[in-house]
Amino acid sequence: MSTFPPAGAEAAAILEVLGCPLPQTGLPSPIDGTPMPQVPDHADPAAAIAASVTAFEAWRSVPAPVRGLLVRQFGEALRTHRDALGRLVTIETGKPLSEGVGEVQEMIDICDFAVGLSRQLYGLTIASERPEHHMRELWHPLGPVAVISAFNFPVAVWAWNACIALVCGDSVLWKPSEKTPVTAHAVQALFDRVAKDFGAPEGLAQLVTGGRETGAALAADPRIPLVSATGSVPMGRALAQAVAARLGRSLLELGGNAATIVCPSADLDLAVRAIAFSAAGTTGQRCTTMRRLIVHDSVYDALIPRLKKAFASLRIGDPRDPETLIGPMIDSQAVAAMASALTRARAEGEVTGGEQLDGNYVRPALAELPAQSDLAREETFAPILYVLRYTDFAQAIAIQRDVPQGLSSSILTNDLREGEAFLSATGSDCGIANVNMGTSGAEIGGAFGGEKETGGGRESGSDSWKAYMRRQTQNVNYGRTLPLAQGVEFDL
């Protein structure tokens, strides 16, 4: 299929250059099935947690702008190694090179954001009802933060959490997806080098590789006040219950099942690109992937044939080829899940594309279904776009909302009323709502996350940092009397 060297060997060579070599005895690369480097499982999560507590106790007293300097230096190291790390992301996940490098760019961007934030961890001052009193909020570091990341963004989502947590004064424990530990290992090695030169406490950010038990150990441990997890709804549900059982906090980013509404006034040239990128890009394996297209009757026949043509012409192949737009799926289970969803779709409607090619390579599919389809309410992590027809705007909004998930959404319209109605309280019910673009490819500056089964968490930009700190309300009486709030009398 390609003229590139075996993927696993190339990954091993990149690790050599980055100074963190590993034996090539790991999982098959999604690109060609050759063995990837193998990251050993962490022997003892309990020891890592203990080290994280000790590191936190030192780090929390370092001034926040100084903590920002560490993240700044980490960002510089990422800039230096952006292309090598991006290529490793590509080899490990199968996403095309520009997206692999884009993922490392996303880490660099969040470093920049976090460095600025390190001088902006603002609290409020609040007018006290009591004379000669001051009331204010101070944000303190929280403690060790566990970050559980998914295979599809094996390093960027960790960085959203870790870079913010570090400037907030927290220590970090990272359990990467079992499917993609190699880039995590390389990023951690880079961080370790920067942290050592900086003189950061040992164990400030650690990689804790392992399976379900490792995740369960992090979820159950009361020394970890916050567990931030990205992944499937069943994973998030089990994790949230374990964390809640000890009254810890969890920050969840789970299923998406994003929908886009195409209105009569939509710019169809822009629509074709936006839809193809969000539905088929990253081989349909983003939380923000567009899975449902809700198309107005009046544009259906103009748009859908063009989309079918665009899907049929997508360049599928080795993601290291700069011409490739669609790489392989992550593994054979993912390919099987796609096939089984398509079998169900064929029973309900008409499927175009979706052929299984060699190995983990597939052609993205369009499945035209009835508007009330139950299948379209389920999220299959694959490049399948369910196309549903609508006749009036209220119906389109109702379809968008009628799913258990609520991460991302978009509308394609040149009608101001429709666009603004989509963004109103009775419009999209998602954490992200876009106009005249797709559903994926968010910038780091906004808060990222969503409602309902998506889990309610917000990561990355805006004021998401508040989840990584503890808020203390402080009251100071600078007078000589002791007035009580609410006018309560208590005279001795």
Positions in the binding site for ligand UN1 (CB under 6 A): 152-153, 157, 230, 286-288, 440-442
Complex with ligand UN1: residue 349 or 441, whichever CB lies closer: 441
Minimum CB separation of residue 468 from ligand UN1 in Å reads 18
Minimum CB separation of residue 5 from ligand UN1 in Å reads 29
Complex with ligand UN1: residue 26 or 455, whichever CB lies closer: 455
Q: What DSSP element (H or E) covers 84?
A: helix 82-93
Complex with ligand UN1: residue 153 or 158, whichever CB lies closer: 153
Mapping DSSP to helix (H, G, I), strand (E, B) and coil, where does residue 80 land? helix
Selection from 34, 30, 27 nearest residue 10 by Cα: 34
Nearest-angstrom CA–CA distance, 220 and 226: 11
Nearest-angstrom CA–CA distance, 330 and 332: 7
Minimum CB separation of residue 220 from ligand UN1 in Å reads 24
Complex with ligand UN1: residue 149 or 324, whichever CB lies closer: 149
Nearest-angstrom CA–CA distance, 449 and 460: 9
Complex with ligand UN1: residue 277 or 361, whichever CB lies closer: 277
Q: What is the dihedral of CA 38, 44, 48, 53, to 10 degrees?
A: 160
Minimum CB separation of residue 382 from ligand UN1 in Å reads 14
Q: 458 CB contacts (<8 Å, ≥6 apart)?
A: 251, 431, 447, 448, 449, 464, 467
**Side-chain-facing half-sphere of 289: CA atoms under 13 Å:** 23
Q: What DSSP element (H or E) covers 367?
A: strand 365-368
Q: What DSSP element (H or E) covers 48?
A: helix 45-59
CB atoms within 10 A of CB 266: 24
Minimum CB separation of residue 278 from ligand UN1 in Å reads 8
Complex with ligand UN1: residue 89 or 157, whichever CB lies closer: 157
Q: What are the backbone angles phi and psi of residue 146, rounded to the nearest 5°?
A: -95, 135
- CA dihedral for 77, 78, 81, 84, sign (positive or negative): positive
Minimum CB separation of residue 368 from ligand UN1 in Å reads 25
Q: Are 78 and 111 in contact (CB under 8 A)?
A: yes
Q: Are 226 and 248 in contact (CB under 8 A)?
A: yes
Minimum CB separation of residue 123 from ligand UN1 in Å reads 29
Complex with ligand UN1: residue 275 or 287, whichever CB lies closer: 287
Nearest-angstrom CA–CA distance, 250 and 228: 6
Complex with ligand UN1: residue 252 or 307, whichever CB lies closer: 252
Mapping DSSP to helix (H, G, I), strand (E, B) and coil, where does residue 53 land? helix
Nearest-angstrom CA–CA distance, 228 and 157: 10
Mapping DSSP to helix (H, G, I), strand (E, B) and coil, where does residue 22 land? coil
Nearest-angstrom CA–CA distance, 268 and 24: 47
**155 backbone φψ class: left, alpha, beta (φ>0; ψ -120 to 50):** alpha
Minimum CB separation of residue 373 from ligand UN1 in Å reads 24
Note if 263 is an active site residue.
no
DSSP 250-303: EEEE----EEEEE-TT--HHHHHHHHHHHHHGGGG-STT-EEEEEEEHHHHHHH
Q: What DSSP element (H or E) covers 236?
A: helix 233-245
Nearest-angstrom CA–CA distance, 240 and 229: 9
Q: Write down the catalytic residue from 92, 106, 253, 453.
A: 253
Note if 253 is an active site residue.
yes
Minimum CB separation of residue 319 from ligand UN1 in Å reads 17
Complex with ligand UN1: residue 139 or 160, whichever CB lies closer: 160
Q: Write down the catalytic residue from 287, 368, 430, 459.
A: 287
Mapping DSSP to helix (H, G, I), strand (E, B) and coil, where does residue 237 land? helix
Burial of 241 (0-12, 13-18, 19+ CB in 10 A): exposed
Residues belonging to the active site: 253, 287
